[in-house]
Amino acid sequence: MHYNPQIDPIYLRGTNGAGVILIHGFTGTPDSVRPVANALEKAGFTVLAPLLAGHGTTPEALSHTRWPDWYRSVQKATMELHEQCPKIFVAGLSLGALLTLKLAIDYPQSIAAIGCLATPLTLHPWPSKLLPLVQHSPLKFFFKYQKKFGVDIKDPLAKENFWNYNLMPLASIASLVELQKEIQVTLAKVHTPTLLMHSRHDSTAPYDSMNRVASRISSATTETVTLENSYHVITLDYEKELVAGKVTEFFKRFL
């Protein structure tokens, strides 16, 4: 089978006995978290970045999936990595950050620390207000996809090389909103050490998401980092080295 580095899962074998699951965002692929994966491997971690169900193929394939399907992709990867590494860390970007929080809620004993990058605790108003109207009316048979108006990356080179769908299935966005609601009401169940990073200029996930997560979780160790020279996809943008370095440094503290 032909290997496509922009789409396929990432697996990097480390030396320190600890493993990290890295989770990409909605409509993206594992390649979007590669700079973080490389930094973690350099520090000795074994890294597995799975491809979420429905991603990396076509928007039509994505339209047949919902958040429990994406979550199962992550659970499966976590179990696979756990067979090799007794200690597991998890970090995710955007949708990946929500799935990271879900893992920390469901498996509190199994995860040593988490990194939530550009967490979309809510979306900007239009999806949350308009989606329910479309989903619960005959409109859903006519409006199946929302065109992406652009990629939320400041660095033009990174933006040009970013692989993602340019159409977003409304049914899948609606499912993402359902996951947000589930996470919002269960955040207090997060007791895992947590690193939160967010750009002040994120136009996909509101910047105040970071402090809202920080104030609601029950972790004894919570750190927040504000980025000033990136947009939403902070793992690939101008401050990608800072992001990769902070995640690596944070996880090393809990080895």
Active site annotation includes 202: yes
CA 101 to chain centre: 10
Strand partners, 121: none
Active site annotation includes 232: yes
Q: In the chain, what is the straight-line distance between the N-terminal and C-terminal CA atoms, in Å?
A: 36
Residue 152: burial class (beta carbons within 10 Å; 0-12, 13-18, 19+): buried
CA angle 172, 77, 9 (to 5 degrees): 75
Report the distance separating Cα 22 and Cα 45, nearest Å: 12
Active-site entry in 32, 94, 175, 199: 94
Active-site entry in 172, 209, 232, 237: 232
Active site annotation includes 94: yes
Report the distance separating Cα 161 and Cα 147, nearest Å: 19
Report the distance separating Cα 113 and Cα 252, nearest Å: 10
Active-site entry in 202, 209, 230, 237: 202
Identify each DSSP E strand in the chain by its residue range: 10-12, 18-23, 46-49, 87-93, 111-117, 145-147, 167-169, 194-199, 222-227
Residues annotated catalytic, as ranges: 94, 202, 232
